[in-house]
Chains A and B, each alone.
Chain A
Amino acid sequence: MQASQVEIRKVNKFYGPFQALKNVDLTIPPGKVTCLIGPSGSGKSTLLRCINFLEEYDAGEVRIDGQLIGYDAPGRKMSGRKLREMRRSIGMVFQQFNLWPHMTALENVAEGLIRVRGLSKRDAQARAEDALRKVGLGDKMANHPSRLSGGQQQRVAIARAIAMEPRLMLFDEPTSALDPELVGEVLTVMKTLAAEGMTMVVVTHEMGFAAHVADQVAFMDAGELIAAGDPASILHQPQDARIQSFLRTYHERNSF
């Protein structure tokens, strides 16, 4: 599989007078897992959503494999068609799963293959079945989302994304909406993807995942990228006081 790389350079985003992202510089290396951590409101989700232009950044550049996303040139927005073309190779998994409730799990996964990739219904369903089996839901294909647990729904969402054969996967707090006992099954699927060499950017509060699976951990606070590096240096020997304070609160709340 060919894995994408992402270059984020001096990205700024404003919501009116409020600056959500301040001059963020980050490289997402190909085939590696990058985790974005930080307190709420730090801009991590916003930055993630800028990568596939679900949020529009106002200044700076986001390049995927060298190609600028969202803009043809600074100030000139990309056409809808070109944007959709770029999004075909990017997969996204949302905190709220966002499965389409009026379709079965199989139909959810096949829909993109039919409408976007133009596959025939039969081919799409065959590929969808493979994707669902890969995330361990081969026996739940005919279920509607309302008959699936949160963990199962999120795994269907992951299947939906990987069925499109993306070169880059974005995860926006994929386990935050799940009951604790269901988190494991989703993390397992994500670890499998990582082992296969997918470029992954994951916004998460699961520090264990960041520590053991991530190749790069980036800490954000109040719209700024404070530090980025390998998990050991960020999580176990943080230099910046903000990271120390964040981790201290985390340990207080989570150890017993």
Chain B
Amino acid sequence: MFSIPVFLQAFEPLIWAARYTLLISGLGIALGLVIGTLICAARLSPYAALRGFAAVWVSFLRGVPLLVQLLVFYYTLPVIGIDVPAIVAAVVTVGICASAYISEIWRGAIAALPKGQAEAAAAIGMAPHHIWGRVILPQAVTMSLPALINELILLVKASSLVSVVGILEITRASQAQAATTFRPLEVYIAAACIYLAINLCLSALGRYLEHRTAI
């Protein structure tokens, strides 16, 4: 049956492994935000070529499962002669994948803003960069916060997949633990608990931010 001592003992190595989970999801979302903003700008640009490229970018990265993306990237690197540690490859893959979703989050928020907001600014003769910087973006970013926290939670869960390329984050560490203790049930449930703890904190953060930025 379920052994409590084994369950509790499993936590220490897994929490130690959690630093990789947090690193990958943290850097992943940071990268995703930077690239996602550029992609969103491209999606909204007047140049058809940029719009087309960004549309394909979003479509591809949202259509291909992350696990497949990880393997493609992992096998591509030796072929083009780049030698980076697996963790860098993982962060870049996760970040690029996230950028597609973040771009759509931005786009949705900008589209949800009533047209009248920009019109009122245009009617008093405000220049486009002011209309974007003072009226549209501040509201869009605030509106997007819940969706962005949600995306971060998704990334924390997605980081479990980088276990397949050998990175010793929570899931991989738990697989190793299960192999040595022969008690997979307790070990994997312990892993689940750690993920849950991280994500509950993020949800609470999300609710706090929503509350603070309510207009």
Residues of chain A having any CB pair with chain B under 8 Å: 52, 54, 80, 84-88, 90-92, 94, 96, 98-102, 111-112, 115-116, 144, 146, 157, 160-161, 164
Q: Are B125 and A84 in contact (CB under 8 A)?
A: yes
User: Smallest Cβ distance from B69 to chain A, in angstroms?
Assistant: 37
User: Smallest Cβ distance from B141 to chain A, in angstroms?
Assistant: 10
Most chain A beta-carbon neighbours within 10 Å: one of B120, B122, B139, B215: B120
Known A94-B119, A96-B114, A98-B116; contact A88-B138, beta-carbon cutoff 8 A: no
Q: Which residues of B contact A98 (CB under 8 A)?
A: 114, 116-117, 119-120
Q: Interface code B97-136, partner A: CB below 8 Å = 1, 0 otherwise?
A: 0000000000000000010110111111111101000110
| Total residue contacts A-B, CB cutoff 8 A | 68
User: Smallest Cβ distance from A118 to chain B, in angstroms?
Assistant: 11
A-B contact pairs, 22 of them (CB 8 A): A54-B122, A80-B128, A84-B127, A85-B125, A86-B125, A88-B125, A91-B123, A92-B124, A94-B123, A98-B116, A99-B120, A100-B135, A102-B139, A112-B125, A112-B126, A115-B130, A116-B124, A116-B126, A157-B120, A160-B124, A161-B124, A164-B124
Pick from B119, B138, B215: contact of A54, CB below 8 A. B119
Q: Are B126 and A115 in contact (CB under 8 A)?
A: yes
Q: Are B120 and A101 in contact (CB under 8 A)?
A: no
For the complex of A and B, the 6 pairs showing the least CB-CB separation, nearest first, are: A98-B120, A98-B116, A87-B125, A92-B123, A112-B124, A88-B125
B142 in the interface (beta carbon within 8 A): yes
- Closest residue of chain A to B123 (Cβ to Cβ) is A92
The complex places the Cα of A161 from the Cα of B114 at a distance, in Å, of: 19
Q: Which residues of A contact B123 (CB under 8 A)?
A: 52, 54, 87, 90-92, 94
Bin the interface of chain B by size: 20 to 34
Known A54-B122, A94-B119, A98-B120; contact A115-B134, beta-carbon cutoff 8 A: yes
- Closest residue of chain A to B116 (Cβ to Cβ) is A98
Q: Are A102 and B124 in contact (CB under 8 A)?
A: no
The complex places the Cα of A115 from the Cα of B125 at a distance, in Å, of: 9
The complex places the Cα of A92 from the Cα of B134 at a distance, in Å, of: 19
- Closest residue of chain B to A100 (Cβ to Cβ) is B135
The complex places the Cα of A94 from the Cα of B126 at a distance, in Å, of: 16
List residues 72-111 of chain B with CB under 8 A from any CB of chain A.
none
- Closest residue of chain B to A52 (Cβ to Cβ) is B123
The complex places the Cα of A160 from the Cα of B120 at a distance, in Å, of: 10
The complex places the Cα of A112 from the Cα of B131 at a distance, in Å, of: 10
Pick from A99, A102, A111: contact of B142, CB below 8 A. A102
Q: A87-B122, A96-B116, A116-B125 are in contact. List 5 more A-B contacts (CB 8 A).
A: A52-B123, A54-B123, A102-B139, A102-B142, A144-B215
Q: Are A91 and B116 in contact (CB under 8 A)?
A: no
User: Smallest Cβ distance from A243 to chain B, in angstroms?
Assistant: 30
The complex places the Cα of A95 from the Cα of B134 at a distance, in Å, of: 22
List residues 128-161 of chain B with CB under 8 A from any CB of chain A.
128, 130, 134-135, 138-139, 142
Known A84-B126, A85-B125, A111-B134; contact A100-B120, beta-carbon cutoff 8 A: yes
Most chain A beta-carbon neighbours within 10 Å: one of B123, B126, B142: B123
Q: Which residues of A contact B130 (CB under 8 A)?
A: 115-116
User: Smallest Cβ distance from A198 to chain B, in angstroms?
Assistant: 16
Q: Which residues of B contact A85 (CB under 8 A)?
A: 125
Most chain A beta-carbon neighbours within 10 Å: one of B114, B116, B125, B128: B125
Q: Which residues of A contact B127 (CB under 8 A)?
A: 84, 115-116
User: Smallest Cβ distance from B125 to chain A, in angstroms?
Assistant: 4
Q: Which residues of B contact A92 (CB under 8 A)?
A: 120, 123-124
Known A98-B117, A146-B215; contact A87-B124, beta-carbon cutoff 8 A: yes
Known A54-B119, A96-B114; contact A102-B125, beta-carbon cutoff 8 A: no
Q: Which residues of B contact A164 (CB under 8 A)?
A: 124-125
User: Smallest Cβ distance from B14 to chain A, in angstroms?
Assistant: 42
- Closest residue of chain A to B124 (Cβ to Cβ) is A112
The complex places the Cα of A88 from the Cα of B122 at a distance, in Å, of: 10
Q: Which residues of B contact A54 (CB under 8 A)?
A: 119, 122-123
